Amino acid sequence: MSWEKDVDELKRREAMAEEMGGADSVAFHHGRGKLTVRERFELLADPGSIRESGKLAGSPEWDGNELKSLLPANSVAGSMTLNGRKVAVHGGDFTIRGGSSEGSSANKALAVVKQAWIERIPYIRLLDATGGSVRSFEQMGRTYLPANDRVQEVELLYRSPVVSAVLGSVAGLPAVQACFCHFNVMVKGTSQVFVAGPPAVRAALGREITKEELGNEDVQVKQSGVIANLAESEADAMQQIRRFLSYMPQNVWEMPPRITPEDAPDRAEEALLSIIPDDPRKIYNARKLLGMVVDRDSFFEIQPDYGKSRITGLARFDGYPVGIMINNPKFKGGSLDKAAGEKVMRLLQLCDTFHLPLISLVDEPGFMVGLEEEKKGIIRAGARATAMLALSTTPLYSIIIRQAYGVAGGMHFRGGDSLYRRAAWPSGNWGSMHIEGGVTAAYRREIEAADDPAAKQAEIEERLNALKSPFRTAHAYAIENIIDPRATRQSIIEFVHDAQRVIQTQLGPTSRIPYLP
């Protein structure tokens, strides 16, 4: 007996599923500058590696016992490989009912989460869905109570890397899922994300607003920081996902992956010797500095448009992946505001969860001051970041390249018995507060009693500034090492090599820093 007839029928039904919402709906989707979900899968995956599951799920229409037509579930699920490593993937199909939630689609999503959880592999969501619809009430013949059955979805954050991509108008539960991840990205001009769309805003507040005004990249990438990165196109979004995951282990039980380095470990950039200006009021290019110490072209920035006074991301040293951050003096002098504090905490969570060494290049003037930051809650953000660093066990190496002042300056350093190392450039200086600001408070009476208060203040400042040489601190062994800036790369590589032995003893879920969105 041959099953060829049944195999032919399988292929016929699979072809029905591949038509998605039909030619007209697909054409409309393309006309808005968007790809279909299967086109997105092809862009993301290694060639020939897609393994779809639940392809025949949907709403069949029968003619007797014969299948007349099939409206497939409005999502595609399965697995693929990225850079040769397996991942689980689920993507919404906006060509069918706008990607709104329905039973078979929700079941597929849960099944893929479970697959990633069991197999200990990364999970990628390609979001293009508007959440629930009141149409489902008529289909069910009743309403239903909202539920929060997200336990496995949240637990996955402690096990394997999770990525969300916002690829259209995303609202409701999919909008929340956009945050249930370690990295997320949206596409410029074609993506929006919000709790509820313009009709809900109109009903609740009586206000007319467009979906772009409510949740485009200006709102969610640059102002709220809900979405980490902005992609110029869907192809760019898929490349960013591939690149992010290339730094990540498959799960917390595996070592972060090393690639074959193409950059000499002993490369020493002469320009590092003069990149920090003598004048503390002058700035420099922090991204250029990063490029001179990391493996060439290995820096992947996370949240470049949010909390701009701190630059954060992933990089490699001698092929090993690390988290890395540096103050950016071009914005607010590099001081830590609430937004930058949020970035720091997310990087700490990521590094601690997946056992990535963290490199901090320090030029910290302190917390951003002023009424606006106080209203935002800078004190609580600073307290949270300080506590998180204290609990972190990932190997940390801090190098003071210019300054480290106050509580914010102390956030780059760590006590305890976890691997920690620090050094400074000869350009470094530090203290509980800046001398120029502290003199007026500490020497107020002496200054006010002087015949020439301004001259007296200048005299005291000059006296104290003579004490801030890093060499004085080194003589007291209050800073372990002062290094030639040109030796920074070699020094970090030595630390990263040492860190590998420690990381091998830390594998598994971390219990000290909760990974919450």
pLDDT category, 114, cuts 50, 70, 90? very high
Query: Residue 427 to residues 5, 188, 225, 274, 402: CA-CA distances in angstroms?
Result: 78, 40, 33, 10, 5
Picking from 224-233, 395-404, 461-470, which range would have the lowest pLDDT averaged per residue? Answer: 461-470
Q: How many CB atoms lie within 10 A of CB 402?
A: 23
Tell me if residue 397 falls in helix, strand or coil. strand
The percent of residues above 90 in pLDDT, for the chain, comes to 63
Both 170 and 227 in a single domain? yes
pLDDT top residue among 366 and 228: 228
Q: Give the end of a domain, one of 182, 214, 246.
A: 246
- The CB-side HSE value for 22 (13 A sphere, CA atoms) comes to 8
- Alpha carbon 206 to its chain centroid, in Å, reads 35
Q: Please report whether residue 448 resides in a domain.
A: no
Both 52 and 151 in a single domain? yes
Query: Tokens for 452?
Result: 């020439």
pLDDT top residue among 312 and 31: 312
Handedness of CA 406, 411, 416, 419 (dihedral sign): negative
Both 318 and 182 in a single domain? no
Both 278 and 233 in a single domain? no
The percent of residues above 70 in pLDDT, for the chain, comes to 94
- Tokens 């056992």 map to which residue? 355
Asked if the model's pLDDT at residue 84 lies above 70, the reply is yes
Q: What pLDDT is stored for residue 141 in this prediction?
A: 63
pLDDT category, 353, cuts 50, 70, 90? very high
Both 84 and 233 in a single domain? yes
Both 53 and 161 in a single domain? yes
Provide the number of structural domains found in the chain. Answer: 2
Q: What pLDDT is stored for residue 412 in this prediction?
A: 85
pLDDT tens track for 8-20: 889 989 888 888 8
Query: Residue 419 to residues 84, 148, 314, 393, 492: CA-CA distances in angstroms?
Result: 32, 39, 19, 7, 13
* Beta strands in 151-231, from DSSP E residues, in sequence order: 162-166, 169-171, 183-187, 192-194, 229-231
Residue length of the chain: 517
pLDDT category, 146, cuts 50, 70, 90? low
Q: What pLDDT is stored for residue 63 in this prediction?
A: 82
Both 294 and 410 in a single domain? yes
| CATH number where 107 lies | 3.90.226.10
pLDDT tens track for 393-429: 999 999 999 999 988 888 888 888 899 999 999 999 8
Both 239 and 282 in a single domain? no
Both 101 and 147 in a single domain? yes
Q: What pLDDT is stored for residue 148 in this prediction?
A: 63
Q: Please report whether residue 10 resides in a domain.
A: no
Asked if the model's pLDDT at residue 366 lies above 80, the reply is yes
Arithmetic mean of pLDDT over the chain: 90
pLDDT top residue among 468 and 245: 245
> What radius of gyration do the chain's Cα atoms show?
27
- Tokens 């507060």 map to which residue? 433
pLDDT category, 298, cuts 50, 70, 90? very high
CB 397 within 8 Å of CB 358: yes
Mean local confidence (pLDDT), 262-287: 95
pLDDT category, 144, cuts 50, 70, 90? low
Q: Please report whether residue 148 resides in a domain.
A: yes
pLDDT top residue among 198 and 163: 163
pLDDT top residue among 234 and 107: 234
Both 236 and 330 in a single domain? no
Tell me if residue 246 falls in helix, strand or coil. helix
Q: Please report whether residue 333 resides in a domain.
A: yes
pLDDT category, 101, cuts 50, 70, 90? low
CB 482 within 8 Å of CB 424: yes
Q: Please report whether residue 444 resides in a domain.
A: no
Angle between helices 378-391 and 338-354 (to 10 degrees): 20
Q: Please report whether residue 122 resides in a domain.
A: yes
Whether this prediction's pTM lies above 0.85 is answered by yes
Q: Give the end of a domain, one of 246, 281, 311.
A: 246
Q: Please report whether residue 413 resides in a domain.
A: yes
Q: Please report whether residue 324 resides in a domain.
A: yes
Both 103 and 223 in a single domain? yes
pLDDT category, 375, cuts 50, 70, 90? very high
Both 323 and 206 in a single domain? no
pLDDT tens track for 177-214: 999 999 999 999 999 999 988 998 999 999 999 999 99
Asked if the model's pLDDT at residue 137 lies above 70, the reply is no
Domain that holds residue 374: 270-425+483-504
DSSP strand pairing (75-82 vs 85-92):
antiparallel
CB 259 within 8 Å of CB 284: no
